[in-house]
A and B are shown apart, each in its own frame.
Chain A
């Protein structure tokens, strides 16, 4: 029988925490013994992926996603669930493999997964269990899959060896409060490791499209003469907080790239829109973030972004999400000229696709760090 093409999670097997390393070796030995039969297995590993979740249930939820990670980024995945308030205390561990068949008829490729659930005081022992399991010489990523990035002190040892932390500001319940807090965290952590925000990464196509508007040399001068930026984001969907965070990040990105200086604290209107005034080399710039309803928004991100620039003639650059949210219409309109419009695909990436993409980067993302720094200034930090 041919092995399936989709990733397969072999049933997790509970093991003694003290024997974790020995059990992992035994796991591969048994796979190799099986190789004398029809199924041939290759072990693949390019990194260690630590995943931090807040409960055992969340651990099993993420376990189902790891298979899609290992297909693109073969790794040793270690899921760490910490339940400090749970009683009784203790640590349990499970091991399993994720296997997939890259080419039908070829060898199966397998990556290993360890799940560790710590309860009560035993949460403090998590680093002691996890650190011996990281693969020496390969990069270590920490995927922080909790609503806020507020690691317990015991995580300090894990953060010290981590090369890059992946958080998701889309999970922040209150972006206007949580994002500025993240700014401080990133400032502290950024000295020694890279920092990624999955919610920021999801905005990459939008940033790319905004940048493209100013690629033609005759339109580039308008960038310095931008006077008004409006970012409309979806207010009704369950993704509202994620979109609000993205709107903040987008405004901060523009501000940091253009060296705008926040002149006044934000004002909040009755429709929950926020307005900032920045000083630029060409005068004042108004930036508004406006929550609104998007009818038929589909699964995609819903934004309308407009940049209005002074000049002779003035110009207007806009990006509007199209039907079902999978399409963006961009338009560059210089007064007195025929506007140039086009539709492009909007990549709507699932969480796991963004994670996979981020696992290909190792260094620090200076632009993101500068964006967070600007965001801190916008929040008055």
Chain B
């Protein structure tokens, strides 16, 4: 659940006024609402949204009268949609037979409209259906639209919602209307700006929830707690004590069956522009005044604004791209990217990228931020490592044989989420010998309960009106602005400077050289 508690609407405030909810430890439940999913017959709905909604309903985190309306062209009936939902829950959550009554009860909250939502006429039926739910099911005039369609449909659905009057909140004193837009939000700076213009011409920015599921991960949220709920880190969280920051998001999988998408996107668009820059902004931002949507998002945007732009002629000095060739994954031989289904045999799409960035502000001046992400790397791991400066003077002359490693703090996002600190310790014995040791905290060891999935967290946050973990228009555009010179340069360069790496390795040697030039190296993950 998001950390923000900004009162987003009168509806939530009124909910809090229920005296039976006061101080009951009872988890927050959103106000009654209708959820409308566009792209309801698609993969995302089946794999993520329906299981997440079922989980929330089963755990009674949804209001009594919640209603889900699936919208898509596929010629389903409401009963077909319900059956698909039952199957999706069974297959993705593997629920026991004893849950049949909840699943059935959940299914009865689902409805379906088969129509062409590229045509404005379809929206009048949707409008009347939502009205009927308000009257008959008590959904209270609250609406959540979820765009789970391919991105090309986003503008037209948004415009039609506007024309049909569905984007307007009926009575702002009592109701809310919100829209969740899936990533990718644009495919470059211009298209992101254009989409933002379209969306904000119909919805107010506070109604818009741009989802990046990475931000819903428990450990990503914990970054905020780690930094701002503990007093000991803030004094050393700056250029005076920190030598460098590395952010790695490594995947062991290849592009699987997403070759066609990946050919269009590439790693920089798929990972760096959103997930990795989001992590960077959380690590580097100033303390927000409050843990609330606006305050947190303001500070994140400030970081993105302060990142030194990469001039086109410096791209090759500050960025490395790579593409995986043949190799091994999980002990099995795997094919090169160019041999993946729906990938061009002469593709120059990057499956690996490494960047060196600087944040030009007082806190971070001259501290390099090294980012790397790739597919088919040695293992799946996401980690932020903060390396502190070495001691200014080494008084242990006898320990000169030992390598005195600088202190490193590792924030592991996945898997084995946790935090580790490396420091030097004396080896037992008469001689002064120093060895690096690690002090570790792991979530799995300290908190046994499995965290909710990112979609459960984010869906609930949106219904509660908490936008802390969602992207704002300016942040999306700033992130695109930052990567555009790199994308443009790589596009122009074609295959020149595209480094190839063996699948199952840690990426191309060129990425190592990016750090070696600075006398540094990638942290072992």
Contact = CB atoms under 8 A, between A and B. Distances in A.
Contacts of A324: 98
A109 B445 CA distance: 7
Interface in B1-40: 11, 14-15, 17-27, 29, 31-32
Given A102-B444, A204-B24, A223 B416 contact: no
A106 interface: yes
Interface string A187-226: 0000000000000000011011111111111111001000
Interface string B85-116: 00000000000001101101100110000000
Interface stretch (B136-144, B286-294, B367-375, B402-410): B136-144
B447 A211 contact: no
A210 B21 CA distance: 9
A310 interface: no
A44 interface: yes
A86 interface: no
A239 B353 CA distance: 62
Given A72-B449, A257-B19, A212 B29 contact: yes
Contact of B446 (A74, A257, A345, A366): A74
Interface stretch (B52-60, B119-127, B147-155, B322-330): B52-60
A215 B18 contact: yes
A87 interface: no
Contacts of B17: 220
B513 interface: no
Interface string A312-328: 00000000001110110
A337 B11 CA distance: 23
B440 interface: yes
Interface in B48-73: 57-60, 63-65
Nearest to A357: B449
Contacts of A113: none
A340 B138 contact: yes
Nearest to B14: A217
Contact of B20 (A71, A216, A257, A361): A257
Nearest to A224: B19
A218 B101 contact: no
Contacts of A342: 64, 105, 108-109
Interface in A277-323: 322-323
Interface in B447-462: 447-449
Given A106-B416, A344-B105, A345-B58, A215 B444 contact: no
Nearest to A220: B18
A213 B25 contact: no
Which of the listed residues A73, A216, A337, A338 has the most CB atoms from chain B within 10 Å of its own CB?
A216
A207 B65 contact: no
Given A211-B20, A219-B138, A324-B98, A204 B444 contact: no
Contacts of A327: 101-102
B32 A215 contact: yes
A218 B14 CA distance: 11
13 contacts: A42-B445, A73-B448, A102-B445, A106-B416, A208-B24, A211-B24, A217-B14, A220-B18, A223-B20, A327-B102, A330-B64, A356-B448, A361-B25
Contacts of B447: 72
Interface of A: 42, 44, 46, 71-74, 102-103, 106, 109, 204-205, 207-220, 223, 254, 257-258, 322-324, 326-327, 330, 332, 337-338, 340-345, 356, 361, 365-367
Contacts of A71: 448
Contacts of B137: 340
Given A212-B29, A330-B64, 9 more contacts: A211-B18, A211-B21, A211-B26, A215-B29, A215-B63, A217-B14, A323-B101, A361-B25, A365-B25
B442 interface: yes
Nearest to B135: A337
A103 B444 contact: yes
B227 interface: no
A214 B20 contact: yes
A343 B174 contact: no
B218 to A, nearest CB: 15
A326 B60 contact: no
Contacts of B109: 342
B25 to A, nearest CB: 7
B23 A207 contact: no
A209 B447 CA distance: 27
A218 B21 contact: no
A301 B136 CA distance: 31
B60 A44 contact: no
B18 A322 contact: no
Given A74-B445, A207-B26, A215-B32, A345 B19 contact: no
Given A213-B64, A218-B140, A44 B416 contact: no
Closest 9 CB pairs of A and B: A72-B448, A343-B105, A211-B20, A102-B444, A367-B23, A208-B26, A343-B101, A109-B445, A342-B105
